[in-house]
Amino acid sequence: MDKLEYTALGQTVYHCVLPNGLNIYVDVRRSYSKQFAFFATRYGGMDLRFRGEDGEWLDTPAGVAHFLEHKTFDTEDGNALQRMAANGVDPNAFTSSSMTGYFFDGVQGFEDNLRTLLSFVSVPWFTQESVDKEQGIIAQEIRMGEDDPNDEAYYRLLEAMYVNHPVRGRVAGTVESISHITADTLYQCHGAFYRPGNMVLCAAGNIDPQRVADIAQEVLTAEHTTAAETDHGRPERPEVGEKLTRRTMPVSIPLFTLGIKGTPAARGEGLRQRLLGELVCDVLFSTSAPLYNRLYEQGLLNSSFGSFYSDGPGCAFLVAEGESRDPERVRDEVLKEAARLAAEGIDQELWDRLKKAAYGAMVRRLNSLEDTCIELAEAHFDGEDYLSFPQVFQSIERGHGEALLRDWFVEARCALSIIAPEESQT
């Protein structure tokens, strides 16, 4: 295995690519008693359309990736989740718009549990009876999300911002869409995306890197295959599809989610754009920002306010969300402040302080084996090295933030989703 030294961070990571195409990263932490393993595929909620083995394009129902995550724990011998838990580890999984990951952590039985993880994820076993039963469970989960005002505000924002890109849909799908999922659908999608060449295994802790590679080579297929070709829809225009969306729900004060539709990063530039986007969020929306303090003093924001940057293949956006008695005014003030900062410049002292704080937070996150493995996997799928972030931070200057504010924070790229109290309906 190749030994990668990150002297600025005091980290050592081992990397190799198996003959079947699987990339493996092992972050060795000799002083840690806990071990963590993360096995992920570049397949998520946005991957609805792909080319089959016969060359024809296939359209699948919304929510298949999430549904598949639920059912992958089923094996012919029982439930892998229960088996691993009984073996002393805490297993789980998640599905995002662009990735599905399975993981466990614990202090014992690492090699046995790693074999189990690799086996149940790579060898599918579904029955139509179990799929039918799962539809009811996931439908209930979807309804709960639809009843959550914050979730509803967020997904309505995505629908407003994006016209063609499948990121506009819920990762879990809808009650209607998952009703069309069959065992054959799951086998078809598993075969298309759960291929070693489309997956990554990341592990961390006091473990032997070569043993991780040996176990993976022992358990997984030797066949080298890459993922099916996907189609994320027609190219998006820079402008949002809808500038304002509003609905009423039983809330006491209006909720809002404000989105800025950005330009997707070129491959290999995603980490840099993410760090820049997060810094711009801090400049505008953090408690250190003049805008936040001004709106807070005016009673237009409260402590529920927050922001983040998000991206995926073919999409990138900034989000600010919270509660306000006048969300439309908050939107107008955000655009006005962004234009001012782009023209007059970001205060250098504020920029330096926020940049230093952001860097420190990323260094502290390395203490989490889980965070580190997931970040390594996401960066790998984007063709990047996550642990190069110290050098990336050094390359980001105040002028880059001002340029992003100038280019992205314009009315045409801005969408606002409001959840208003029911009594305000007109």
Q: Catalytic residues, which ones?
A: 69
- Which has the closest alpha carbon to 107: 35, 24, 5, 7? 35
Pairing of the two strands 244-249 and 49-51 = unpaired
Tell me how far apart the alpha carbons of residues 177 and 333 are, in angstroms, rounded to a whole number: 39
40, 203 contact by CB (below 8 A): no
* Structure token digits, residue 265: 């990063």
3-state secondary structure of 161: helix
Q: What CA–CA distances, in Å, run from 323 to 257, 297, 337, 418?
A: 9, 14, 19, 9
**Cα–chain-centroid distance for residue 170?**
13
238, 227 contact by CB (below 8 A): no
Q: What CA–CA distances, in Å, run from 379 to 270, 278, 307, 364?
A: 8, 16, 22, 18
Tell me how far apart the alpha carbons of residues 150 and 156 are, in angstroms, rounded to a whole number: 10
Tell me how far apart the alpha carbons of residues 146 and 29 are, in angstroms, rounded to a whole number: 42
- Which has the closest alpha carbon to 104: 78, 79, 81? 81
Give me the phi and psi of 188, to 5 degrees please: -65, -45
100, 227 contact by CB (below 8 A): no
Tell me how far apart the alpha carbons of residues 113 and 106 are, in angstroms, rounded to a whole number: 9
Tell me how far apart the alpha carbons of residues 37 and 93 are, in angstroms, rounded to a whole number: 11
Name residue, tokens 């390395």.
366
